[in-house]
Chain A
Amino acid sequence: MSELYVARHPAAAWRRLEDEVIVMAAQESWLFTLNEVAAEIWEAADGRTPLASIVRDRICEKFEVDFEQAYRDAEELLRALAERGIVLLSETPLEAGAP
């Protein structure tokens, strides 16, 4: 399995509100929220930390879930968000840090 890196898109505006994250996609003026698990991934999506590390360190232990399943779910979510231009995905570290 090749490494996958994820970064918040630089156009996104966001804020944590208790257990969820509110994201505003600037281009579409599109607002959505991420649940507790997705919020953990979002906050860790700095473009430099491999997704596998994010899932292992921030998801599996905290939410007591199996790594393989959690990784598949995270990748599926992130690919959907990438299609909408909310995150950037790459097999190499991403230079441009997102806000």
Chain B
Amino acid sequence: MSGLMERVTQKALALGVPLSVHLDLTWRCHLSCIHCYLTERNGRELTTAQLVRLLEELAECGTLFLLVSGGEVFLRPDFFEIVEAARELAFSVRVKTSGTLLDDEAARRLARLHVAGVDVSLYSHRPEVHDAVTRLEGSFARTVEAVRRLVAHGVKVRVVQVLMRMAEGEYSRVRELAAELGAEYSLDPTVTPRLDGSRSVVRLNASHAAWRKVFEDPELDARPEHCPLSPEPQEAAQTAPEWDSLPCSAGHTSCYISPSGDVYPCVQLPLALGNVTERPFREIWADSPAARRVRSIRVADLPICRSCEFLNQCSRCPGLAYLEGDLTGPSRLNCEQVFARTGRRPAPLAE
């Protein structure tokens, strides 16, 4: 995080401003990705009018960064109406899509709306592997074509790869493909449990050897210095744990809003704060007991993690911990990643 972004985030924290919001317009999707964390596809969705009102509320609350995602956002016929409303309200809008439904006209419209960027998921540089993940034949070709279209119209594209075992040795090829296409590249090393806590998809995670490789790759943002608990990881051995520091930004300066209007601290922390069809967002954000609970937690309140020798080398995710059963407990997945990184087992893995 840049110095200015850090200062702005600290100011938002002090003022109680939800600076960044992840808004899912729909959970419907024509892909059936094998690692998808969603458990419900056809639930209730906010109407166009409700979404526009919500955007107005978010702008009033000070939200600047808006991630518009899904499901597949292009399955909402009013997608552009919503993005237009967001841009009129001066949000910095990122869009996340598979790209498989994005035609040239859509790319042109996104460019004209000056979205900050589009995140496109790509799981391998090999079409057959990508298509096996999405379980839609031809999806690789359509996604790559979408990246080309967006780039041709001047839209910034970031190819996002979730690292999975079947393609774990090939991420550098996906990164090369992104560069060839004129896109940025980002790697997410973790397949998370599904929103109902089911761990069936976790087996898709990369091996420890592959994790170690990506954690040591200087070109990736999965390196230890990006650990939220570790402001100065290069001096981890000498640094005392920051007991008063926050586990992450979820619920502090950022939140997630589901297609039906449920507000969570984060998409990976499905702890319901309230629903925007029942209460104004501002009240949910300010007064929800669950939000206050999340905001009260400091590193010193993590009964196991606070005394872990790897605290400063861990990218502990409160959402993963919550999905594994305890918001203040350790996340086994994060412990495994520490093991992969250091070759030594954190205490929870030894139990």
Q: Which A residues are within 8 Å of any B CB, using their own CB?
A: 10-18, 22, 24, 26-27, 29, 31-33, 99
B263 within 8 A of A: no
Report chain B residues within 8 Å CB of A17: 8, 11-12, 15, 17, 62
Report chain A residues within 8 Å CB of B15: 17-18
Which of B2, B11, B88, B116 contacts A26 (CB under 8 A)? B116
Q: Are B116 and A15 in contact (CB-based, < 8 A)?
A: no
Q: Which B residues are within 8 Å of any A CB, using their own CB?
A: 2, 4-5, 8, 11-12, 15, 17, 59, 62-65, 87-93, 114-117, 156
Nearest neighbor of A11 in chain B, beta-carbon distance: B114
- Can you list 19 A-B pairs, Cβ within 8 angstroms, ordered by A? A13-B87, A13-B90, A13-B91, A13-B93, A13-B116, A15-B59, A15-B64, A15-B90, A17-B15, A18-B11, A18-B15, A24-B92, A26-B92, A26-B116, A29-B156, A31-B4, A31-B5, A32-B4, A99-B89
Q: How far is the CB of B149 from chain A (nearest CB, A)?
A: 18
User: For chain A, what secondary structure do more than half of its interface residues adopt (helix, strand, loop), or is it mixed?
Assistant: strand
Report chain A residues within 8 Å CB of B17: 17
Query: A24-B92, A31-B2, A31-B5 are contacts. A10–B64 as well, Cβ < 8 Å?
Result: no
Q: How far is the CA of A32 from the CA of B89 in the complex (A)?
A: 18
Q: How far is the CB of B114 from chain A (nearest CB, A)?
A: 4
Q: How far is the CA of A24 from the CA of B90 in the complex (A)?
A: 10
Q: How far is the CA of A11 from the CA of B156 in the complex (A)?
A: 13
Q: Which 8 A-B pairs have the closest CB atoms?
A: A13-B92, A11-B114, A99-B90, A15-B64, A24-B92, A26-B114, A26-B116, A14-B90
Q: Are A99 and B87 in contact (CB-based, < 8 A)?
A: yes
Report chain B residues within 8 Å CB of A12: 90
Nearest neighbor of B64 in chain A, beta-carbon distance: A15
Q: How far is the CB of A95 from chain B (nearest CB, A)?
A: 16
